[in-house]
Amino acid sequence: EFILLGLSDRRELQVLFFTFFFLGYVMVLLANLLIIVTVRTDPKLSSPMYFLLCNLSFIDICCTSVTSPRMLVDLLSQRKAIAFEDCIAQLFFLHFVGASEMFLLTVMAYDRYTAICKPLHYMAIMSRQVCWLLVSACWAGGFLHSIVQTLLTIQLPFCGPNTIDNYFCDVHPVIRLACTDTNVTEWLMASNSGLISLVCFLVLVTSYTFILVTIRVRFTEGYWKALSTCASHVMVVTLFFVPCIFIYLRPFSTFPSDKHVCVIYTVFSPVMNPLIYTLRNNEVKASMWKLWKRCR
């Protein structure tokens, strides 16, 4: 088994963290479930954008559920032990849904690029079949990424220290406990996780750059609204990708602050996604209001 040190060993801070993260977890669950139900029940929200937003909400629920419940239990526990099998399972599912979300955010940026820069061909390019194919590719890519990370970790021998300075099992703190030289493994993991994060982020930035260039050429009211939307999307994308790049693109080095950086993309980002991507949308809010009136 491994011992998770968590975010702090001070009891008063643990209670404060529990309250904060519990409220955040509940908010993520309720907000994303509401989005999924709203999109699925309103025929007006059948465009590719809402189909992708619905999938993002599902991934956010999965992503935060991999780490948050365990973290909340450990914050109230004296001994924060996790079995080796549970640790590997948490590592696998975290990278599975995390990489799938990276790929999906990239697809969503391409969807916005197509809608703004090629509006006349949008429905032809982003057909329902293409959307299903892209989403399936995101999940398949996430699975392939995660299975590589898991296989690289599980084949290592563990016979010495068992203390992980984090609140969940991740590749870097786990492989540092192996009783063997892990230089090659760390380089392979950095080229996997780190490069995926960096490449997806660069593709996203490039897509939004093309969108902003198109907006600047066409000075119309609709495109200024798109500018505001793109700016908020870039903010939440940066909140997710920059910490991942910082954590996974540097083999052979870990810092005590890494576990606090991890909070950004495991807790804050899932909270921000529904607020930025969906709940600022007037069509979604109108559909939620109609759903509320039907349920009363």
% the chain with pLDDT above 90? 25
> Is pLDDT of 24 > 70?
yes
Amino acid occupying residue 165: D
Of the candidates 198, 190, 189, 205, the one whose C-alpha atom is nearest the C-alpha of residue 154 is: 189
**Residue 144 is part of a domain; what is its CATH number?**
1.20.1070.10
> Is pLDDT of 21 > 70?
yes
pLDDT of residue 175: 86
pLDDT of residue 296: 66
Residue 55 banded pLDDT, cuts 50, 70, 90: very high
Distance CA 7, CA 26 (A): 20
pLDDT of residue 222: 59
Tokens 């590589």 belong to residue: 148
pLDDT of residue 65: 92
CA of residue 278 relative to chain centroid, distance: 15
> Is pLDDT of 219 > 60?
no
% the chain with pLDDT above 70? 94
Residue 90 banded pLDDT, cuts 50, 70, 90: very high
pLDDT of residue 252: 65
Number of compact structural domains in the chain = 1
Mean pLDDT in residue range 10-17: 86
Q: Are 141 and 199 in contact (CB under 8 A)?
A: no
> Is pLDDT of 92 > 80?
yes
* pLDDT, the chain, mean: 85
Range of the domain at 86: 2-295
Residue 218 banded pLDDT, cuts 50, 70, 90: low
Q: What is the pLDDT of residues 141-173, one digit of tens each?
A: 999 999 999 998 888 888 878 888 888 888 888
pLDDT of residue 8: 80
Range from 15-24, 80-89, 213-222, 270-279 carrying the lowest mean pLDDT: 213-222
